[in-house]
A and B are shown apart, each in its own frame.
Chain A
Amino acid sequence: AQSVSQHNHHVILSEAASLELGCNYSYGGTVNLFWYVQYPGQHLQLLLKYFSGDPLVKGIKGFEAEFIKSKFSFNLRKPSVQWSDTAEYFCAVNRGGGATNKLIFGTGTLLAVQP
């Protein structure tokens, strides 16, 4: 069965620090990869996604992620975080061309950015 692992459950950073959140998945076939974010009191929203082409994907708010197929990884990065990036971040995967397109989520990483 597919699974998604997020290595960091809680991350605390100071403003302007660089961010990298790890995500690994287990599935040998074609996958689509997503990062969702949930700001305090808000609903889940898409940060970025990868389904083909350039493995370095740029999303909203200065976030980017790199798909490394050989490592089954899709790590999220931001060179300089802001206080407003405080949120919970979820990595998710679904099968490319799958019948139901259901997303398999990781357990999430709670990021706190200190001003």
Chain B
Amino acid sequence: GAGVSQSPRYKVAKRGQDVALRCDPISGHVSLFWYQQALGQGPEFLTYFQNEAQLDKSGLPSDRFFAERPEGSVSTLKIQRTQQEDSAVYLCASSREPQSVETQYFGPGTRLLVL
């Protein structure tokens, strides 16, 4: 079956440019997560949605980062006025139910390079 998809797969942005990253979770999955993975590191949590509600945004590094999931399916992570330190792979994951034991299924990621 279809997994989590993300677009674009690669994005090069000039410093100061705004970017939007898209995530299509597995159909029917209630929970959606965004993670940021810097080179040589493990993924770090950014934000969490349960359906359309953003229940946790404690991992967003600054107010330049904004995420939404308006209809409880597709989600967009927006980064305004990108900085070089934003260069990373941005991973989206979804799980069927909100329980903590549920497996999170990851997408291929969007590799963002800010010049």
* B-binding residues in A (CB < 8 A): 4, 32, 34, 36, 42-46, 49, 51, 90, 92, 94-108
B42 partner residues in chain A, CB cutoff 8 A: 4, 90, 92, 105-108
- Chain B contacts with A in 81-97, Cβ cutoff 8 A: 91, 93, 95
B59 partner residues in chain A, CB cutoff 8 A: 102
Known contacts A43-B108, A107-B41, A107-B42; A102/B56 CB under 8 A: yes
Cβ–Cβ contact B56 & A99, under 8 A: yes
* A-binding residues in B (CB < 8 A): 3-4, 31, 33, 35, 40-45, 48, 55-56, 59, 91, 93, 95, 98-109
Residue among A32, A96, A97, A102 with the highest chain B CB neighbour number at 10 A: A102
For the complex, would chain B's binding face be called helix, strand, loop or mixed by DSSP majority? loop
B102 partner residues in chain A, CB cutoff 8 A: 101
Q: Which chain B residue shows the least CB distance to A31?
A: B100
Q: Which chain A residue shows the least CB distance to B3?
A: A43
Known: A34-B103, A43-B106, A107-B40. 7 other contacts (CB 8 A): A43-B107, A46-B104, A96-B100, A101-B98, A101-B100, A105-B44, A107-B41
Cβ–Cβ contact A101 & B43, under 8 A: no
Residue among B43, B107, B108 with the highest chain A CB neighbour number at 10 A: B43
